[in-house]
Amino acid sequence: MEFDYLGIQTLYDRYLIVDRTNTGDEERRIETPQLFWMRVAMGLFHNEVDNKEERVVSLYNLYKNRRFCSSTPTLFNSGTPHSQLSSCYLYWVDDSIEGIMERGITENAYLSKWAGGLGGSWTSVRGMGGHIRGTNGRSQGVIPFLKLHNDLLVAVNQGGKRRGSGCAYLETWHNDIGEFLELRKNTGDDRRRTHDMNTANWVPDLFMKRMEAREDWTLFCSSDAPDLHETYGRDFDERYLAYEAKAERGEMSGEKIPAIDLWKRMLQMIFETGHPWITFKDACNVRSPQDHAGVIHSSNLCTEITLNTGSDETAVCNLGSVVLDNHLTESGELDLAKLRETIRIAVRALDNVIDINFYPTQPARNANLRHRPIGLGVMGLQNALYQKGVPFASEAAVEFNDEFMEAIAYFAYEASSDLAREKGRYESYEGSKWDRGLLPPDTVDLLEQERGQAVDVPRGGRMDWEPIRQKIASQGMRNSNVLAIAPTATISNIMGTSPCIEPLYKNLYVKSNLSGDFIVLNRHLVNALKGRGLWNEDVMNKLKYLDGDLHDIAEVPNELKQLYATAFDVDPMLMIAAAARRQKWIDQSQSVNLFLAKPDMKRLSHMYRAAWRSGLKTTYYLRTLGASNIEKATIAVKKQGVELPEKEHTAEERLACSIEAMRNGEECEACQ
């Protein structure tokens, strides 16, 4: 396997096993990359009864040939004495001091210790002023407990490798929502700030409808309306309207505010702090295969996992990603036979994680063995589009998203069903959407019916799904959930490909991670320029000066400028349309970053409303254009014979930099 410098340095610094018996100053690695891949493959298949060696070699070959990669916790720990291989944990905190301290603090400390990324719902915890019957006092709300959780993430180092990572979710009707929105601000009472913890809004459809209609919205203390968090869709609407009527009659407390004002505050905080992210409660629940087994109370740290949580279940998900650009033919078409082979091996490996995994808590064990969810994702979309010669900012790219995601879904659901025939169905299969003959693409119509308004995504696909429907009806499913697209920021470096389903950030930029700072240059662009005889020192210096932007480099032809356009050149509406096409086939969700070059409140509102109308379940970071990413040094760049001065940035650009969500240390490595 060939590595670029960033890939091999990342592997050396963070993944290869270190000899801890060495008392010298220099750490000694006791693995080569080849032994590393073999350790991981052997660890995942050592419990196989039949054809064990063949299965190990098949997975090793996927790794070696850059066709699939497991998530970081699996790479860290597979084949070691302490096999905590899972990426994500989702928890739910109830409204009691025992529940808060046990589930929200103590159990999360154990989960974080073993390198799991945390995401959880705090909506059930009563808000400021709520009555405490035991002491006849008044609650200080959920914020002090979130501060405690924030400090836990700092204190409990993840496996000795990095600080803990977590995300707290709160529903939009909770009466602490105002303070929750400001948790990441750098001003105000620091005792009511969580600078080290991510936050996300858990938004019901009714709020979006009220906001668009410019109607009022009522905030409640969760202890007065405990069932709101346990319902969704039309059931939620009925209960919410009933509570509003009681508040109007003076029978309970409720604070009425214009929904549009709250929406503007949500967007303003994303501008200022990058948080809270916006995720959609009803889309997650209505489209869930496991709607019979409880409620999805939140997503995870990176917003791609949507699993049920409860008093005795902490949801767990095990991740891995297909390398898309290594599944194309020479003509740029999907190699379906190769893709099917990769996915069948990958799904088997991910399913094995469930049985050999170390579970830090009993609720985590309960949930994972009962439902057996996995999260197969994809990376390398941008590289695949380069190979196809298709610009990211095009309708052809949107169609390709539909095409490749349908194929991945088809083969993944087939693989899980075949595993069910061999090893048995997951325990809670009966009553699931799978059992009722409903597949993920069918849920678009279900969501449309539940909302009472159109979901803006084309139906249908290219493949014949009837054989898969019949197979699932006959064999069942091994896994409650199969697909989830994680960020893959770190493992994509190892695989030498582009991260998940994102456009390239820049053609030239500095990548900062725990291994140091690396200048990353788009090798596809360089090869294209070399092929046309355009690559020289002058063009290279212009790329450095312009932060990889091709617009003002006259030597680069327009077709190359379109093909190698970067994230901030792509219309966000096209990215949302592509995400909606993928979501049609995915049973969980995807880490969907939105890119906006300049602060624009109106455009941002349109983006998130389009995401909601398209049936997306979640969104992730808002990426904004930082003021400077490349050290200009003292290079002399001449354009039309004139030496360009050092590039200056406007106040608006500096503001954009201040709300940049790609700050060092912000990424969740658990999902990477």
Q: How many residues does the chain have?
A: 672
Q: Which residues contact 52 (CB under 8 A, 6 or more apart)?
A: 45, 46
* Residue 302: active-site member: yes
Backbone CA torsion sign across 224, 230, 233, 234: negative
The candidate with the shortest Cα–Cα distance to 325, out of 254, 417, 221, 400, is 400
Structure tokens at 594: 């939105």
**Over the stretch 284-330, which tens digit does the pLDDT of each residue have?**
999 999 999 999 999 999 999 999 999 999 999 899 999 999 999 99
Task: Give the model confidence (pLDDT) of 50-90 as tens digits.
Answer: 999 999 999 999 999 999 999 999 999 999 988 889 988 99
pLDDT at 19: 87
pLDDT at 453 over 90: yes
Closest CA to 349 of 635, 586, 101, 40: 40
Distance CA 255, CA 313 (A): 33
In the chain, % of residues over pLDDT 90: 77
Q: What is the C-alpha to C-alpha distance for residues 536 and 543, in angstroms, rounded to an integer? A: 11
Residue tagged active-site, from 167, 302, 317, 668: 302
**CA separation for the pair 324, 344 (Å, rounded):** 15
Query: Do 605 and 260 touch, CB atoms closer than 8 A?
Result: no
Which pLDDT score is estimated for 657?
38
Taking the CA atoms of residue 288, residue 417, residue 384 and residue 332 in that order, the dihedral angle to the nearest 10 degrees is: -130
The catalytic residue among 77, 150, 300, 318 is 300
Quick one: pLDDT at residue 637?
Answer: 42
Quickly list H helices, 504-640: 523-531, 537-545, 558-563, 572-583, 601-613
Q: φ, ψ for residue 258 (rounded to 5)?
A: -65, 130
Rounded alpha-carbon distances, angstroms, from residue 98 to 123, 291, 311, 371: 16, 28, 12, 26
Comparing 56 with 160, the larger pLDDT belongs to 56
Q: Would you give the DSSP letter of residue 82?
A: S
Taking the C-alpha atoms of residue 669 and residue 664, their distance in angstroms, rounded to an integer, is 12
Closest Cα partner for 284 from 409, 169, 167, 412? 169
Is the pLDDT assigned to residue 365 strictly greater than 90?
Answer: yes
| DSSP symbol at 644 | P
Q: Does residue 65 have an active-site annotation? A: no
The residues near 452 (Cβ < 8 Å, ≥ 6 apart) are none
543's tokens? 């790329």
> Residue 663's pLDDT is what?
36
Strand 88-92 and strand 315-317: the pairing is antiparallel
Distances (CA, A) of 373 to 36, 86, 421, 429: 26, 11, 17, 11
pLDDT band at 22 (very low <50, low <70, confident <90, very high): confident
DSSP 8-class letter at 261: H
Query: What's the CATH fold of domain 1-87+319-672?
Result: Anaerobic Ribonucleotide-triphosphate Reductase Large Chain (3.20.70)
Quickly count: other Cβ atoms within 10 Å of residue 572's Cβ.
Answer: 21
- Is 419 in contact with 466 (CB distance < 8 Å)? no
Instruction: Indicate the pLDDT class of residue 672, thresholds 50, 70 and 90.
Output: low
Higher pLDDT, 136 or 294: 294
Q: Given this model, what pLDDT does residue 84 score? A: 87
SS3 letters across 285-332: HHCCCCCCCCCCCCCCCCCCCCCCCECCECEEECEEEEEHHHCECCCC
Q: Is 275 left (phi over 0), alpha (psi -120 to 50) or beta?
A: beta
Task: State the CATH class of domain 89-286.
Answer: alpha beta
Residue 461's CB is within 10 A of a number of other CB atoms, namely: 18
Residue 211, number of CB atoms within 10 A of its CB: 23
Complete DSSP assignment for 482-529: -B-B---TTHHHHHTS--TTPPPS-SEEEEEETTEEEEEE-HHHHHHH
Distance CA 331, CA 629 (A): 35
User: pLDDT tens digits, residue range 87-127?
Assistant: 889 999 999 999 999 999 999 999 988 878 899 999 999 99
Do 10 and 73 touch, CB atoms closer than 8 A? no
With 0-12 / 13-18 / 19 or more C-beta atoms within 10 angstroms meaning exposed / middle / buried, residue 510 is: middle
285 is catalytic: no
Where does CATH 3.20.70.20 sit in the chain?
Answer: 1-87+319-672, 89-286
- DSSP per residue over 167-185, as a string? EEEEETTBTTHHHHHTTT-
131 neighbors 175 (Cβ within 8 angstroms) = no
When pLDDT is averaged across residues 392-397 and rounded to a whole number, the result is 97
Which pLDDT value is given to residue 662?
36
pLDDT in tens, 423-441: 999 999 999 999 999 999 9
Residue 170 · residue 266 · CB < 8 Å: no
**Residue in 179, 304, 450, 502 annotated catalytic:** 304
Which residues is 140 bridged to in the sheet?
128
Amino acid at 134: G
- Cα–Cα dist 621/592, whole Å: 7
The overall pTM is greater than 0.85: yes
